[in-house]
Each structure stands twice: as C-alpha cells, then as structure tokens.
Amino acid sequence: MAEENPKFLVSQDQYLKSGIHIGTKFKTKYMEQFIYKTRTDGLSILNLQKIDERIKTAANFIAQYDPEDILIVSRRENGWKAVKTFGRVTGIKFVAGRYPPGMLTNPALEIYYESKVILSTDSWPDRNAILDANKIGIPVIALCDTNNQSNNLDLVVPCNNKGKKSLGLFFYILAREYLKLRGIIKNDSDFKETVDDFTEE
C-alpha cells in the first residue's frame, strides 16, 4: 500500500482499520490518480499516502482561518457525529443534515452565515452548499470517494466518505491538526478526544 511512513498523521494500521482507503466499484476519471489498485471484487483501493498528504493539505489550509470563518456540511448521516464532535472541539460551525438553501448567499435570512471556506463530507449530497459557495466565490474542500466528480471543488481529499469509521477518523485527525496548527494545543498528547468520540456507533 505504502511503506510504513513515520510521517503519517496516524499509524498506517489505524488508517487501514478505519477503511478510509476502501473505495467503491465505480471510479471517475478525476479520481483515478488517487487509486492504488482495483481488487478482484471490483472495489477500488485509494492510495494511503495520497490520503494522508491531502489531509495534511486540508488541515494547513483551514488552519489559516478562524473557526467562525469555516463551515462544515454533511448531508450524509454517517458523518453527523463526526462533524458535531469536530464543531464542539474546534468551535467551527457545521450543518449536519440538510443544508438550508441561501444560508451562504442570502443576508436577509436568519440562518445566513458569512463563511470564508466550506468543507463538504461528500460533494454529491452536499452539492447545494457547494453551488452556493461557488456563487459567492469561497473555496470548497470536499471528501471524495472513487465515484465522486471534482467539479466546483478547490481541494479534493480522497477517502472513503461513506463509512462511519472512516469519517470519524478523518474528522478526529483534522480537529487535532487544526488545534495544533492554530497553537491551541502543543502536541498530539494534548488532544483529549478519542477516535470513538467522532465515530457513529
């Protein structure tokens, strides 16, 4: 898959156990560059090193923003606990469930939120939020599985964006790295949450 890499954000074993690298039987042209191999059962396997690199890139990118300038959206239910815990730990606003139309674009609405960047757990179910972000010209980071398109996205993080364990691990890592990069915690051991805190039962 990749040599045991001490620079990985979590151990290779932890990545593998979460299934973060297990894709779908369908692959889009754009996502091919992140695919390590296709198994005999037809499932595509994502390259762990590329997943890790892109999580680092996403963390470095959002760390440039204050918590109130970021919005996380997750229409997919398997990501709700992950984004809620992420929001609680980082102070970043999230929408777990249906994205309310006009939230990013209509200042007349009570739910209006002025965001400078959004992160989507899956670009297809979250497409309305992504289209709104495109309208106002703010960057979009999205978790993309092998079957996702990359249209309207500024940064793609390849991963299994459907599994509870995979989403839990992703948001666990992102929360920890965000807090470290912002200087809120000094190192990994200062981060008191566990992966289970981010993972749906």
pLDDT at 7: 86
Q: Which domains does the chain have, with CATH numbers?
A: 20-181 (3.40.50.10490)
pLDDT at 193: 96
CA distances for 192 relative to 83, 175, 179, 182, 195, angstroms: 17, 11, 12, 16, 10
Helices (H), the chain: 12-18, 48-62, 80-90, 127-136, 164-181, 195-198
pLDDT at 2: 45
Residue 75: name the closest of 87, 65, 83 by CA.
83
Residue 142, SS3? Answer: strand
Express as a percent the part of the chain with pLDDT over 90: 96
For the segment 32-56, what is each residue's pLDDT rounded down to a tens digit? 999 999 999 999 999 999 999 999 9
pLDDT at 6: 56
Say how far apart CA 90 and CA 103 lie, in whole Å. Answer: 21
* Overall average pLDDT of the 117-133 stretch: 97
The sign of the torsion formed by the CA atoms of 98, 103, 106, 110 equals: positive
Mean pLDDT across the chain: 95
pLDDT at 1: 45
Is the pLDDT at 3 greater than 90? The verdict is no
Q: pTM here?
A: 0.95
* Overall average pLDDT of the 5-25 stretch: 92
For the segment 50-101, what is each residue's pLDDT rounded down to a tens digit? 999 999 999 999 999 999 999 999 999 999 999 999 999 999 999 999 999 9
pLDDT band at 201, cuts 50/70/90? confident
pLDDT at 200: 87
